Amino acid sequence: MAVDTNNISESIFDTEDLDSECIFGTSKVAIDAATPQPVPMLDMSHKLRRRADIDTKQDKVAKLLEELSCEGVVLLMPAHVAWFTGGMNIRGLIADGERPGIYTNGRQRWLLASNIDGQRLFDEELDGLGFQLKEWQWTVGRALLLGELVAGKKFATDRPFPNMPLVNDRLRTDLRPLTPYEQDLYRTLGNAVVHALEATARNIMPGTSEAEIAGQIAHRLCRRGVEALNISVAADDRAKKFRRCGFTDATANQTCVLQVTGCHDGLYSTASRTICFGDPMPQFKLDFEAAIRLSALYRLMSVPGESVGSAAESGKRLSLNGPYEHEWRESQIGYGAGRFQAEELRKAGQDEKFGPGWPLVWQSKIGSASVVDTVLVTAEGPDPMTPTEGWPFKRIRVRGNAVDVPDLLVR
């Protein structure tokens, strides 16, 4: 699906309000009081899918090793380790030099881990997935094991080592898109993120501090086994001054924008939701409606061949000669997501074109208003990874193409 964004203007938008009591009003207590549904543990069918996913990735690495004429590869970067293991979750306070890694010769695979971590990782993460173990004693350190592993051999790696080829650029094309197995994990993660935001927003009261709201979001994510990262709570007009604002002791009395990034299975998903206590102030309502339209435009450009740069140019044309003409200067509009919290796709003069299966996080920020969600790039159009659970939304049509964007929740 392609959206013609040339000569774009306000006139291409049709907006349909879809907020009603049947969507969110009657389910407020039931949704929040329900027993939390954790991210699923590995049942047999899940484990078989995960092993098949890992086997496919090992086959890709085997071909890469053949091209490089290398005997094996050591993967140490967290994103590469998560990719190869199908989403191994690494817990605890851990230094970079203690992090587990992966070694494979293309035929077999090993976990490289400290004696502190090896047993747990096999019990909770890797049992039955075809891995063997090479372990170091924490008192000795990882470097000695790596040195013994590669001595006298031609190895590739993803961290700089003398006389060893780097595989980072070669893995990049496989790292970006999510496999079908990973897309299912990503939807589960996105649902957990949305639940935490929406349940919190439905239940907070005027006068609640940003810090207390952030704590409630984190609590709900932890109950579902998801790590809460980069929580942002912007009360009233604070987001107008600080586009990346974290949270403080300020209290929410009129409006509140809640945003969080959740992490599980080595994947990251981000979303925001906005509430108003009573009817929104006229300026805030105008700002939010503008942010919704930009969000719809960005999402509909989540198709192969488009880019953050092309979306930015379309957004500029939409806002040209209006009150929001210069808002694009205040914050980045979008990032690569998935295996990264936020990966710049437009930098150093390069503007990477989206490919099928790429996860993206779009953020439309106008004044104090903000609309942030995660989508997956597909040839048919954006596949929302953080859709509304029990929340009002607007259906925006851009030249006949429809997208649903979370609206304000007025309480």
* Mean pLDDT computed over every residue of the chain: 88
What pLDDT, on the 0 to 100 scale, is given for residue 151? Answer: 87
Residues 283 and 302 in one domain: yes
Within this chain, do residues 231 and 354 fall inside the same structural domain, yes or no?
A: yes
121-175 pLDDT tens trace: 999 999 999 999 999 999 999 999 999 998 888 999 999 888 889 999 999 889 9
Is 196 in the same domain as 275? yes
Same-domain pairing of 18 and 103: no
Note whether 65 and 143 are same-domain residues.
yes
- For the cut 80, the answer to whether the pLDDT of residue 16 exceeds it is no
Residue 17: CATH number of its domain:
3.90.230.10
Where does the pLDDT of residue 399 fall: very low under 50, low under 70, confident under 90, or very high at 90 and above?
confident
* Domain C-terminal end among 175, 208, 237: 175
In a domain, 215, yes or no: yes
- Here the CATH number for the domain that contains residue 121 is 3.40.350.10
Q: Let me know: does 294 contact 364? Beta carbons within 8 Å.
A: yes
Q: Are residues 201 and 145 in the same domain?
A: no
pLDDT of residue 25: 28
Same domain, 117 and 221: no
CA dist., res. 322 & res. 213, Å (int): 34
308 with 405, same domain?
Answer: yes
Digit-coded pLDDT (tens) for 92-109: 889 999 999 999 999 999
Total count of domains within the chain: 2
The answer to whether residues 171 and 186 belong to one domain is no
361 has a pLDDT exceeding 70: yes
**Claim to verify: residue 123 and residue 185 sit in the same structural domain:** no
Q: Residue 250: inside a domain, yes or no?
A: yes
Cβ 254 vs Cβ 205: under 8 Å: no
Give residue 14's pLDDT band: very low, low, confident or very high (50, 70, 90): low
Containing structural domain, residue 130? 44-175
- Whether 22 and 109 share a structural domain: no
58 assigned to some structural domain: yes
Question: Using 50, 70 and 90 to split pLDDT, how confident is the model at 41?
Answer: very low
Residues 164 and 229 in one domain: no
Asked if residue 3 is part of any domain, the answer here is: no
Residues 6+ apart with CB under 8 A from 85: 54, 102, 111, 125, 126, 129, 131, 266
